[in-house]
């Protein structure tokens, strides 16, 4: 981890790594074992910088699932769509009080991407030490590179279908650790093609059997591919890939631990989690902690959906405390082996970054779009009746069926970082019913404020075009 921390040290340019750190990195990595340690550091730093800090709340805050309890607190400017391309906030974490940027997310994301590039570039030097392990390592690096770019493109660029062919500005797709090489923004369509190419490369290398869901693996890479195809609106491929994975990993039943066991480490096959993010004991800055201290609270809009059926086990994911809706989706102490004594204990859990429930909903939506309403209803009913075995069978069709799919996806995947991306690709915009601030009630689809500004350092240094409205 120390090596990666040095690699990720700051420099004049957001996509660059420090030259001295690069030398140290190259001096440290001497064999396959040390390169594997470096790869493990990528997972650790991804957890610390991108997954467990308040940036994990960002897609839920800028949409309609979460809100800051105090409009002078963390992510308040993001909630109010009052972001700014401010050079003074170049490296402040997105969750810092008063921050108006996502500069820190951009910085950390690209540093981790360049670390993945380094693994891909270096693996050939040490492959003969253990070819099987080497292939798995580079497969993980390809999959993680796609995973990180997916997060970035959905924060800093409009959704794929904002233009008919995805030709609008995306983000730089960085495929080299060499900081001397120039970079530019690719189109969103190009970014998606690069992600798909990376995952297909990963699938050629990752073993068929998954042994530890804390690391990128074949099933997780396929799940990510289904998600990317869905966001691209390639419904046939999204369904095809999702069907392949769900045939191997079914929904987690209540009798086997749903929903609390989604947030535990279970490599015994009794889980639907395909890839999960481990908590970092040295940096106990989890979204669950902010929810536990009520720095972030649920919206009444979300509460009405989660609590509409009191017999639905997910109704316990939100509860009322005075005038606030408290999110309790993440079970207390779900990762005692990592964080045994963290307060509040709601922070101690694994993030299910990719799981089967999402794939069932991918299938339902894709089937609906492809005209197979029977399949759409079947997969939608599976998710609904898993949460409440006595729930009625869905028999709606057309627009009513699609509305139920949208509603169920919001319910099942709430506070898991997909809400804003879903709204964008559905071209629904954001509509909030529980705010008295007129400026925070509605954000139309396609608004400039629906995406974050590009950090001004990259705009100035590399000539990257700034997002509209900033």
CB crowding 9-18: b at 16 or more within 10 Å, else e: eebebbbbbb
- What is the domain extent for residue 386? 207-260+353-427
Are 336 and 362 contained in the same domain?
no
Are 407 and 437 contained in the same domain?
no
pLDDT in tens, 193-221: 999 999 999 999 999 999 999 999 999 99
Are 331 and 384 contained in the same domain?
no
Q: How far is CA 211 from CA 137, 154, 247, 271, 350, in A?
A: 14, 30, 18, 12, 17
Give the pLDDT confidence score for residue 334 in this predicted structure. Answer: 87
Are 408 and 323 contained in the same domain?
no
Q: Is residue 272 part of a domain?
A: no
The beta-carbon contacts of 170-173 under 8 Å, at least 24 apart in sequence, are: 172/15, 172/110, 172/464, 173/149
pLDDT < 50 positions in the chain: 1-24, 284
Are 158 and 304 contained in the same domain?
no
Are 410 and 438 contained in the same domain?
no
Written as one string, the DSSP assignment of 426-455 is: TT--EE-SS-S-GGGTEE-TT-GGGSPPPP
Q: How many domains does the chain have?
A: 3
Q: Is residue 108 part of a domain?
A: yes
Are 35 and 113 contained in the same domain?
yes
Q: Is residue 194 part of a domain?
A: no
Give the pLDDT confidence score for residue 348 in this predicted structure. Answer: 80
pTM above 0.85, yes or no: yes
Give the pLDDT confidence score for residue 291 in this predicted structure. Answer: 82
Residue with token string 């949208």: 406
């Amino acid at each position: 981890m120390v090596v990666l921390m040095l690699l990720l040290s700051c420099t004049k340019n957001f996509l660059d790594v420090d030259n001295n750190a690069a030398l140290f990195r190259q001096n440290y990595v001497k064999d396959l074992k040390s390169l594997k340690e470096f790869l493990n550091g990528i997972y650790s730093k991804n957890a610390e910088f991108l997954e467990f800090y308040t940036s994990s709340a960002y897609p839920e805050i800028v949409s309609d699932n979460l809100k800051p309890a105090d409009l002078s607190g963390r992510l308040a400017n993001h909630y109010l769509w009052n972001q700014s391309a401010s050079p003074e906030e170049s490296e402040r974490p997105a969750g810092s009080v008063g921050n108006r940027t996502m500069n820190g997310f951009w910085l950390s994301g690209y540093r981790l991407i360049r670390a993945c590039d380094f693994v891909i570039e270096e693996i050939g030097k040490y492959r003969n030490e253990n070819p099987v392990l080497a292939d798995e390592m580079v497969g993980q690096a390809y999959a993680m590179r796609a995973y990180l770019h997916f997060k970035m493109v959905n924060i800093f660029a409009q959704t794929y279908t904002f233009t008919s062919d995805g030709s609008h500005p995306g983000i730089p797709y960085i495929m080299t650790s060499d900081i001397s090489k120039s970079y530019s923004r690719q189109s969103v369509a190009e970014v998606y093609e690069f992600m798909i190419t990376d995952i297909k490369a990963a699938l050629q290398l990752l073993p068929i059997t998954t042994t530890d869901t804390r690391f990128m693996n074949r099933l997780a890479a396929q799940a990510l591919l289904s998600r990317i195809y869905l966001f691209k609106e390639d419904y046939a491929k999204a369904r095809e890939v999702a069907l392949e994975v769900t045939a191997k990993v079914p929904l987690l039943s209540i009798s086997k631990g749903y929903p609390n066991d989604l947030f535990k480490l279970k490599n015994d096959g009794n889980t639907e989690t395909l890839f999960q993010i481990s908590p970092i004991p040295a940096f106990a800055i989890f979204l669950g902690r902010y929810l536990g201290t009520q720095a972030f609270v649920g919206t009444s809009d979300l509460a009405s959906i989660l609590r509409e059926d009191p017999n639905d086990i997910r109704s316990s994911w939100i509860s009322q405390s005075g005038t606030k809706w408290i999110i309790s989706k993440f079970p207390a102490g779900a990762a005692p082996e990592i964080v045994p004594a963290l307060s509040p204990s709601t922070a101690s859990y694994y993030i299910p970054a990719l799981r089967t429930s999402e794939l069932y909903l991918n299938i339902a939506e894709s089937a609906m779009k492809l005209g197979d309403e029977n399949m759409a209803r079947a997969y939608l009913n599976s998710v609904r009746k898993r949460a409440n075995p006595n729930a009625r069978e869905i028999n709606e069709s057309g627009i009513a069926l699609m509305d139920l799919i949208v509603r169920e996806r919001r319910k099942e995947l709430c506070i898991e970082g997909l809400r804003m991306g879903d709204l964008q690709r559905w071209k629904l915009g954001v509509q909030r019913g529980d705010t008295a601030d007129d400026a925070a009630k509605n954000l139309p689809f396609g608004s400039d404020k629906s995406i974050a500004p590009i950090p001004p350092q990259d705009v100035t240094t590399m000539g990257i075009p700034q997002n509209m409205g900033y």
